[in-house]
Structure 1
């Protein structure tokens, strides 16, 4: 009788575990993940949803402030976080699926700053960079030679570097081509008011991933990774990206910067984000 009871409990627990949804936390960060009309959407949200559906894994999404989303994902056990930069500090805290969609990272200046001359990325160190203290770009900036107190000013709070940048208290900002327009809105700047001056090597910045709690079964990780790879190779991921952002042509690019402009400048589709 005891054996039968234990067997029933184990079977019941396994059934419950298999049906339990994977709770995926995220933040408001258009165009990758954001809420509109009470729905969570975005490039990487659509991609995660499609991967979950293909892998036949039930996934639910919650949008929270970043620090709280990170805390909830770490508490687990059936939790994940997207879009997450895969940094050295986070590597052992999660299991990883990806990479998901990330924009080309670039350094920008105000278009009006004709005094700033950056013929190559090494020359960027001669100017003051503004960045947020909670930015995933800190490692990237360090590798490029930016040091706080020398040529790097750090500001508390997300996007807090934008107002000093607009006021010319710092010379440069770093950002993703896919999300730079959103960043600029926090400094009351328009996309036409900036120009890219350097492109960041993709090996120097961490791309976006789905970070999953260590307790999640490896089989789930493998299924999601395989599904994601199929979505990318089929072109579905690229279609999702085009729903939200598009490249914009330079007004009058020189031969020297047209390729840089094409890599670093995109704009949000007008009807996608309210």
Structure 2
């Protein structure tokens, strides 16, 4: 009888140890977080990745007790990594109809409205038709939401770049006529990168809904991990709202 009791205890402890090992393994999963240089939302400075979007992502993952490492790379590469690899979080990602089922969405970062920017002497204005716009050379970032919008609307005269600041230089060099940008970050980007933007102005508001920027996981990410991040997001947003109600910014 004592022999069987010892055997029973052995299997009990083995079961407990296996469960503990499984639990610790899941707890130490380190996700890859990918993003692009997009001042002032997220950008690198003195070897660190900072900006308000980065701050929110870090707060969410810390609240969810998820280990992570953030890497900045060209947008097209970040997008490709998030499409094809497990345990990847990408930000700031526009939630478009095409992308809805391609990612597991955590929460919104902010909303942006996009304009076509051109030189101060541009003949483009809000009365310019979509067909007339197609005659102009337009710079855009590969795989961005605006790039996909222009493709859907059969724009063919596109100059594809890796970073938004390249479009400013191309416009100044008269190699393109227009490029998309949002008013929320355009001026700050010019100042940050010491670019000459004094003769560049918004000339045409794109006929597309405000783009909602999100943090989202790759489809190959485990649902339990995604739910942990969503819980962390709700916790952080709730705490931020409380601070706003108290008048603390």
- What's the TM-score, normalizing by structure 1? 0.67
**In structure 1, how many angstroms separate the alpha carbons of the residues matched to 2:85 and 2:154?**
36
**In structure 2, how many angstroms separate the alpha carbons of the residues matched to 1:53 and 1:221?**
9
Counterpart among 217, 234, 237 of residue 226 in structure 1: 234
Deviations 1:203-255 (A, max 9, x none): 2x54221121333314214313413532664577xxxxx9xxxxxxxxxxxxx
Task: Show the 5 A alignment for 1:97-176.
Answer: 97-113=106-122, 116-120=123-127, 123=129, 125-127=131-133, 128-132=136-140, 134-136=142-144, 137-142=146-151, 145=153, 147-148=155-156, 152-159=157-164, 160-176=166-182
How many residue pairs align between the two structures?
A: 230
Q: Is the radius of gyration larger for structure 1 or structure 2?
A: 2
Task: Show the 5 A alignment for 1:1-274.
Answer: 1-2=10-11, 4-74=13-83, 76-113=85-122, 116-120=123-127, 123=129, 125-127=131-133, 128-132=136-140, 134-136=142-144, 137-142=146-151, 145=153, 147-148=155-156, 152-159=157-164, 160-181=166-187, 189-200=195-206, 203=209, 206-214=211-219, 215-216=221-222, 217=224, 218-230=226-238, 233-234=241-242
**In structure 2, how many angstroms separate the alpha carbons of the residues matched to 1:41 and 1:4?**
46
Give 3-state SS (helix, strand or coil) of 1:11's partner. helix
Give 3-state SS (helix, strand or coil) of 2:184's partner. coil
Q: Greater strand share, 1 or 2?
A: 2
- What's the TM-score, normalizing by structure 2? 0.73
User: Where in structure 2 are there 5+ consecutive unaligned residues?
Assistant: 1-9
State the Cα distance separating 1:100 from its structure 2 match. 0.8
Q: 1:192 to 1:162 in 2, by over 3 A?
A: closer
